[in-house]
Structures are given as structure tokens and as C-alpha cells.
Amino acid sequence: MNALKGAFYTDRYRNLLADYGYEEEEITRRVEAAWREMFEGDEKTRIYHESGSDMGYMLDTGNHDARTEGMSYGMMMAVQMDRRDVFDRLWKWAVEYMYMTEGENAGYFAWSCAPDGTRLSDGPAPDGEEYFAMALFFASHRWGDREAPFNYGEQARELLRTCLHKGEDGKGDPMWNRDNKLIKFIPNCEFTDPSYHLPHFYELFALWADPEDRAFWKEAAEASRRYVQAACHPVTGLAPEYAHYDGTPNHVRGFGHFFSDSYRVAANLGLDAEWFGGATWERETADRIQAFFANKTPDDYRRYTIEGEPFEEKALHPVGLLATNAMASLATEGANARASVELFWNTPLRTGDRRYYDNCLYFFTLLALSGRYRIWKPKA
């Protein structure tokens, strides 16, 4: 990694939108307007809903449920925007309805609940847990801890403890394979999802998790970087949704191609480069992804093999795809970096039933490209 350029080391966050000529006031208005539309707007754009006097949830508008993915995303957005009120509402809802206290998955969060809190699954999804933990650490460092469940730092450490050590008593399974240090798709399986790999989070877990687990998280960061490099196709840069531990596509249930989950890989490359300086392979992979889509419009986006062969099936989330491709520009200054950002800037938030996933990725991209997706460190 190029530590000299990473914001973790410099505390300087690149505003790529400003670098490309957009006015700072206009960028700020855009970020604030997107927040209002997603969290306070009308039913065309809103995905956040308050529940009772002190809770709230993020609605997957295409599937009409609340997911740990979206709940943890909303918490990350809230801490970056300094909205403790929204953060606490989301976290309390997750603890109240999603947190499991019994069965083989006790200590994890049920990945899907109805808007009224009824649990629709007793299984967890590790991408939710890792975002919960990171958002909680940031909240602890930005706002300080209070009484449970708002003792954010301890909640994050307890969750990561469960993710690593679950099953040591013979009950349940961990979310990471403790031998190869790779995150699983779900705890009781032995394959993974390339978009779940967040080495930039694991670098921070290595500083703030339980001391006895910090070496694991440091190793996990490097293992995930090697893994994502292997999983991305050497010509197109595309990654499958599901993959084996050697990076090859896992076609179980037809998820071995480039589709909705896969889009997040490009975003993760960009944020890892922004926070920790990036590596040559990340730049090269970002270049390949952007080059693959350079001659396509969002209306053309499809499901693809990782070799780039299109299916008839159209992309469910074209706005999310173009957004993550733009976020990859943080990892590269290649020939298509500016055009990818300009396409994003000229695209509004999505409306309609499928807007949830697209607009989550859209807002993260706005934060990242404007230098507002930040590491919140413990106060000195």
C-alpha cells in the first residue's frame, strides 16, 4: 500500500469532485439534498422511516423488508453526516428486532425483518455485521459512548468477538474462516462473496477490536486484498457475486456472474485506496472495470459473465452500478476516471420500487468523491 497517500496517515481526504471542477457549494448542496431525499423526502425517494418514538429502519423498497445491509449502511451514512439522532434510531431498531439471543446464530443479527419488526429469517449476513461494527466504532469516536445499547465501542468489539469466535463452544459458526482469514457468504458455508471483502475496515478493526484479535484482523486485511485481486477477471476486472476461496466463480443458484452484489467491488477498491493509499493492482483493476463500461450506457447494463459476455437480463440496479464505477476513480487517474465521475454527477437519485440499493451506493459515492467518507479515530 502507498501509505504516504492514504487519508488514514495524512488525515487529508481527496475531494475528487472539486478536483474535476465542480464548485464546493454545489457539491455540499448535492450531498445535503441527497440526504434529505433519502431520509426525509417523499415516497418517491425516501428509504428511511421512523418507527415509534425512538426507532427507525431502512426499507428495501424492492423487497419490502429491512435488511442488516441497509440498516448498517444507514448507520454509516448517519455517522458520516453527524446525525446521531438517526444513527441511534436505526441501531435501537436493529437491536430490538434483528439481534438474536437464542439458537445457533445467537449474537448475530437476522438479515431480514418486516417493517413492523417481524423476523423473516433466523440467518445472518456478514456484510451487515462488518458495517455495523465499523459504524459503531466511528460513532464511539465521533460522539462518545453512553448507556447500552449506545455504548458503541463495546457493542462493536462484542460483535466482532462473536464473528470470529462463534462456534468455539460447539454452537454455531464464525463469519470468517479462521484459517484463510476470509469472510464467508454466510457463517455455515465455505465460500465467499468478493463484495463482502473490506480490507480498509479490517485495518481499523486491527486497531480497535479486542487486543487478542488484532493480529487476525491485520492478516485478514491482506488476505482480502489478495483475494479480491484473484477474484477480479484479469481483462475485464469484473468479479462474480459468489466465489470459491481461490477466487473462481461459484455458480451455486446462478450467482457466479457479475451482477448486483458485484458492483460494490469497484467501490471498495476506491475507498481502500483513499483510506490506505492503494496498490498497483487496485489501480489496474479499477481501470479495467471502467474501460469495460466506457462504451456502454446505463440502459445497456446487463448481467455479465466475468469474462464480459452479456446475458439478456438487464441490470436491476443501473444507477448503483454507475455510482460504484465512479467511486473506483479514487483508485485511479486512468483514461475513464473523469468520464465515470461525470456520468455519476449527471445522474440523479433513482426513484421507484428498486431505488433502495441504487441510492445507498449512490450516497456512499457522493460521500467518497466529495472527501466526506471519513475515518473517525479515537479522540486524543
Only one residue has cell 455519476, namely 344
Q: Single out the catalytic residue among 213, 261, 272, 274.
A: 261
**Catalytic residue check, 313:** no
User: How far is residue 153's CA from residue 139's CA, in Å, rounded to a whole number?
Assistant: 8
Is residue 32 one of the residues assigned to a domain? Answer: yes
Residue carrying the nine cell digits 472495470: 289
**What is the number of domains present in the chain?**
1
DSSP character for 117?
S
Cis peptide before 240 (omega within 30 of 0): no
Question: Which residue is catalytic, options 37, 65, 69, 203?
Answer: 69
Beta bridge partners of 99: 109
Taking only the tens place, the pLDDT of each residue in 32-69 is 999 999 999 998 899 999 999 999 999 999 999 999 99
Q: Which domain holds residue 366?
A: 1-46+237-380
Query: What's the CA dihedral at 33, 39, 44, 45 to 10 degrees?
Result: 60
When computed from its CA atoms, the radius of gyration of the chain, rounded to whole angstroms, is: 19
Whether residue 128 is contained in a domain is answered as no
Is 21 contained in some domain? yes
SS (H, E, C) 189-241: CCCECHHHCCHHHHHHHHHHCCHHHHHHHHHHHHHHHHHHHHHCCCCCCCCCC
Query: pTM of this prediction?
Result: 0.97
Would residue 182 count as lying in a domain?
no
SS3 assignment, position 353:
coil
Tell me if residue 261 is catalytic. yes
Cβ-based neighbour number of residue 173 at 10 Å: 17
pLDDT, one tens digit for every residue, the chain (380 residues) = 555 589 999 999 999 999 999 999 999 999 999 999 999 999 889 999 999 999 999 999 999 999 999 999 999 999 999 999 999 999 999 999 999 999 999 999 999 999 999 999 999 999 999 999 999 999 999 999 999 999 999 999 999 999 999 999 999 999 999 999 999 999 999 999 999 999 999 999 999 999 999 999 999 999 999 999 999 999 999 999 999 999 999 999 999 999 999 999 999 999 999 999 999 999 999 999 999 999 999 999 999 999 999 999 999 999 999 999 999 999 999 999 999 999 999 999 999 999 999 999 999 999 999 999 999 999 87
CA distances from 258 to 80, 126, 224 (A): 29, 20, 19
| Residue 194 CB contacts under 8 Å (≥ 6 apart), including other chains | 227, 228, 231, 232, 239, 240, 241, 243, 247, 262, 265
Q: Report the candidate in 264, 258, 256, 240 with the shortest Cα–Cα distance to residue 127.
A: 264
3 state SS of 169: coil
CATH number of domain containing 35: 1.50.10.10
* 85 occurs within a structural domain: no
- In the chain, the N- to C-terminal Cα span, in Å, equals 26
Cell numbers representing residue 339 in the block: 468520464
Q: Is residue 327 situated within a structural domain?
A: yes
- pLDDT tens, position by position, 218-272: 999 999 999 999 999 999 999 999 999 999 999 999 999 999 999 999 999 999 9
Length of the chain: 380
**Residue 92 is assigned to a structural domain of this protein:** no
CA 298 from chain centre, in angstroms, equals: 22
345 domain residue, yes or no: yes
- CA-to-CA distance for 299 and 117, rounded, in angstroms? 36
